[in-house]
Amino acid sequence: MWGKRGTAGEQGSLAGSLRDEKLKSNIILNAIEDGVVLIDTEGVIRLFNPGATAITGWVADEAEGLDWRLVFKFVDTKGQPITDNDTILSQAKTAARPVRDNAANLQTKSGKTVATSFSVSPLTGADKQVTGMVGIFRDVSIERQDESRRADFISTASHEMRTPVAAIEGYLSLALNEKVAIIDNKARDYLEKAHASTEHLGQLFQDLLTSAKAEDGRLTNHPRVVEIGAFAEQLVSDLKFSAEKKGLFLESNFGTVQPSAEPTKVVRPLYYATVDPDRLREVITNLFDNAVKYTDTGKITIGLTGNEQVVQFFVRDTGNGIPPEDIQHLFQKFYRVDNSATRTIGGTGLGLFICKKIVELYQGRIWVESEFGKGSTFFINFPRLTTQNAEVQLAREAQSGELGSMATGTHL
Ligand code: ADP
């Protein structure tokens, strides 16, 4: 039997090496600053390292054996509790894949809020069932403060710089106006170039300001129930001119042909969603402007479709397309595809970043599908409101509007 199980010496060395392994893991877990927590399949904390204690204020003896929900209280930026199902730990368990949240806020045992970066990896057994979770988290308060100072600086600087830039642009326009100033052709050429660059600078400051506001949640936002179809029809008629100016055809695709008694009748379903129409206009206009900018010939299609759960907008073009390796970076701040088109076409690389931030305000999703050299389609999905729900909310909005105007003595 010894032969099968190994000699006493071998057994001793195995036990020794296992002991060594455990010792090594303990040394690592005790030494690292990051919090490490091991949670079993029942949601009970089985391991809580000193790093986790330093961040949460719970000591291992207290935390181990408790349900994680008693120890990990996640809150939003205003300190309001986040429901357990929406926390990163629940998400990782449900999704059965690693999940990261760099913007998580934890409430410590004494009730203080700590900015953390949290990543959770589910542990899976042979049958792919989740058997537990390992969470690793860091206190990122200093990084968040730095970020917020940087955003404050960008937003103040861009706000202050917009005024002189607007003045320069105004004077350049005056100098270029034949009724106001007489200049020779050479001077006109120089001033036109200066005017175009100043316009670009003004747009850059505006985009910087909007993106800084979007990042720290200060973007003005007044969501209400909107029938997206009517909204889109109006928007398309406003945008038509700018596509035609470049010789591009603008097509809209909002309806479905009903196989009914009148087969030629196009019936447009009512697509209700809760959004701020001004913000949504910014997003669609931005996607449309890009489609015009990056398309030399062909057409642009603005479409609306959906199912019971979602309303889907899309903006399709027959332009340059986007190389596959760039697609994953496209919605990052300042990202521009590096090619001859973007080198000659002006842009800030902030437009799509801002679009994404706005779409996320309404629990929406934005993404792109593109074939390099053939064209791109940008999609936006918003949660759809049922017509019944929308009508109830619209009536409520109208009522509160009436009450508001009665209180202020104004008439609708
Ligand atoms: P920009 O100000 O550069 O247009 P955006 O954030 O709006 O910034 O877009 C980022 C980059 O994505 C662009 O520089 C361009 O390379 C690419 N892009 C955006 N829309 C399109 C499009 N419709 N077709 C091809 N490329 C596009």
pTM value surpassing 0.95: no
Q: Is 93 in the pocket of ligand 1 (CB under 6 A)?
A: no
Closest to 227 (Cα-Cα) out of 353, 390, 16: 390
pLDDT at residue 83, rounded to an integer: 86
Take atom 20 of ligand 1 and give the residue whose Cα is closest.
290
Mean pLDDT by 10 residues, the chain (412 residues): 45 69 88 95 94 96 95 88 84 85 92 94 85 94 89 87 93 94 94 93 90 84 93 92 93 69 68 95 95 94 93 95 94 88 80 95 95 95 92 86 54 34
Which atom of ligand 1 is found nearest the CA of 339?
16
Q: Is 291 in the pocket of ligand 1 (CB under 6 A)?
A: yes
pLDDT at residue 244, rounded to an integer: 92
Take atom 25 of ligand 1 and give the residue whose Cα is closest.
321
DSSP states of 156-214 as a string? Answer: HHHHHHHHHHHHHHHHHHHHH-TTT----HHHHHHHHHHHHHHHHHHHHHHHHHHHHHH
- Cβ atoms of 373 and 379 closer than 8 Å: no
Mutate to test the pocket of ligand 1, among 300, 350, 352 (most ligand atoms within 8 A of CB): 352
Q: Is 210 in the pocket of ligand 1 (CB under 6 A)?
A: no
Which atom of ligand 1 is found nearest the CA of 321?
25
pLDDT at residue 408, rounded to an integer: 45
In this structure, what DSSP letter does residue 137 have? E
Q: Is 352 in the pocket of ligand 1 (CB under 6 A)?
A: yes
pLDDT at residue 194, rounded to an integer: 96
pLDDT at residue 25, rounded to an integer: 87
| DSSP-derived 3-state class of residue 234 | helix
pLDDT at residue 396, rounded to an integer: 87
